[in-house]
Structure 1
Amino acid sequence: MDLTILEKIDSTNKYLKEKKYKKNWEIVMAKEQTAGKGRRGKVWNSNKGGAWFSFCFAEDKYLSKTEYGKIPLIAGLAVIKGLEEIEKLNYKIKWPNDVYVGKRKISGILLEKSGDFFIVGIGINVNNVDFGEFKDIGISLNKITDKIYNIEKLVMLVASKFKKEYYRFLRGEWEEILLEIKEKNYLKNRVVEVMVNSEVIKGEVIGINNSAELCIKKNNEIYEIKSGEIRIVYTNN
């Protein structure tokens, strides 16, 4: 996996999307992003000290669009496996595309399509301590441990972990991968609100199904959520 390191750029995802000739599994890392973004166009604070990177991989024509909807969760698992080799903490996946430590967000993931390639953008708070408008929910490894980490090493670790998990996925090991994801489910047993087709559904998260949908129980009825903004109301843990 080839790694390109840039000092400052608007967005590593945008860089790869606009690159005319992409190489399978190439990685672009920026020491600072000026226009980093998350899902639904949300701003991602990308000051120096964080791991801001994207990598691309060629589309598999045999996989359906529905199957590719599982990629953000697979990426979340890869982020956790990479982080665990750097620092053992209680990391959790917050469906569909974040990684948390305790009640705070340490990583966000963005999946985009560009021609025959998919681009996975990942931001991990590593040595940075300024989270901008997300100061109330953001956390970094440095804030937790007061240590300084090798960002390039972490980027390569996470990208290689994703590549390994993705090929497991292509080999038909989704059920095994999903079991690992379920063990790291941050939302399990929490009461949440989610907007679905202009309706707010409030209920208890009971799990993630085989289609990577979030399952919410409301008045003895199970809702399977494909996507949406999640707001935690309280936890039953």
Structure 2
Amino acid sequence: MRIFRFESIDSTSDYLKNKKDIENYDLAIAEIQTKGRGRRGNNWFSSKGMALFSFALKAEKNISIEEYSKLPLVTGISVLRGIRRIEELDLKFKWTNDIYLDDKKLSGILVEKVDDFFIIGIGINVNNKELGLAEETAISLTNKTKNSYIIEDIIFTVIDEFKKYYKRFCDGEWEYILDEINSKNYLKGKTVDIVSINGTAAGIVNEIAQDGRLEVEVSGIKQLFNIGEVHISRMKNETE
């Protein structure tokens, strides 16, 4: 593993995407990102004290691109387990790419494909107390526990967990990994507004299906949704 460290960079993911001699598990770490982003191109607020990193993963030729659509989910459970090795917290996984703590976002994940590589970008709120405009919807480990952490310990622990889960994924253990993910499913049982090409409808989330899609019960009928087909605009507990 080659490690590239930066005090400040526009994006660790873009750095790896533009690297000509990229190698498997190349790792870029930054203290600050000036153009960090999440899914759909949303900006990821960056402040000092976060774990901001991306790593390269060479695609296996015997695994289809359809199977690789599950990679954000594999990454998500890896991040969750990695953080829990550092601090025993009640973390949840929000389909398809966020880790939640106390109903607030702790971590975000972005997986992008470039030629024969996937670039996996991860941001974790660690020691940062300032969360910018996301104050009401985000949380950091320090805000929760009042402890301070060695950021690179968290990064390397997460990558260690990813390697374990990725090996299991390649070995055909997706069904067991998915069971773990669903046991931490933040959306399960919540009523959500689903915005699709057919309009807006309210539904109750059941679980993440075998193919990685989200199973939602809409008007008594279970339906499966891809991440590109829906936008979850509201969440509340079914009992509320």
Same fold (TM over 0.5): yes
Q: What is the CA–CA distance in structure 2 between the aligned matches of 1:18 and 1:216, rounded to whole Å? A: 38
> 1:63 deviation in Å?
1.8
Q: How does 1:209-224 map to 2 (within 5 A)?
A: 209-224=209-224
Deviation >6 Å, runs of 4+: none
Change in Cα spacing, 1:198 to 1:13, as seen in structure 2 (3 Å) is farther
Matches within 5 A, 1:99-178: 99-178=99-178
Q: 1:198 Cα shift?
A: 4.8
Partner of 1:62: 62
Q: Does 1:229 align with 2:231?
A: yes
The answer to whether the Cα contact below 8 Å between 1:97 and 1:108 also exists between their aligned partners in 2 is yes
8 Å contact kept, 2:127–2:149? yes
The aligned amino acid for 2:186 is Y
Return the TM-score normalized by structure 2: 0.96
Conserved? CA contact 2:106–2:140, under 8 Å? yes
Say whether the 8 Å CA contact 1:190–1:232 is kept in structure 2.
Answer: no
Distance 1:173 1:82 in 2: 19
**AA in 1 matched with 2:43:** V
In structure 2, what is the Cα distance between the partners aligned to 1:113 and 1:212? 18
Q: Report the equivalent of 1:47.
A: 47
Where structure 2 has 5 or more consecutive residues not aligned to the other structure, the ranges are none
Q: Deviations over 1:101-159 (max 9, x none)?
A: 01100000000011110010000000011222211101000000111100001001111
| Structure 1 segments unaligned to the other structure (5+ residues) | none
SS in 2 for 1:163: helix
Report Cα offsets for 1:11-62 as digits up to 9, x if no partner.
0000000001111011111011111000000000111100000001111122
Q: What RMSD over aligned residues (CA atoms) do the two structures have, in Å?
A: 1.1
Corresponding residue of 1:76 = 76
Structure 1 CA distance for aligned equivalents of residues 5 and 235 of structure 2: 40
1:189 aligned partner, one-letter code: G
Count, aligned residues? 237
AA at the equivalent of 1:122? I
Contact kept, 8 Å, 1:94 with 1:100, in 2: the verdict is yes
Q: Is 2:5 aligned against 1:2?
A: no
**Any idea what SS the aligned residue of 2:8 has?**
coil
Q: Is the 8 A contact 2:195 2:233 kept in 1?
A: no
Identity of aligned residues (%): 42
Task: Verify the 8 A CA contact 1:193 1:231 in the aligned structure 2.
Answer: yes
Q: Deviation of residue 2 (structure 1)?
A: 2.9
Q: Name the structure 2 match of 1:191.
A: 191
* 1:99 counterpart letter in structure 2: I
Instruction: Report the secondary structure of 1:182's partner residue.
Output: helix
Aligned amino acid, residue 154 of structure 1:
I
Equivalents in 1 of 2:11, 2:198: separation in Å?
Answer: 31
Q: Retained in 2: the 8 A contact 1:127–1:148?
A: yes
The residue type equivalent to 1:127 in the other structure is N
Q: Bigger CA drift: 174-183 or 131-140?
A: 131-140
Q: What is the identity, as a one-letter code, of the residue corresponding to 2:74? A: I
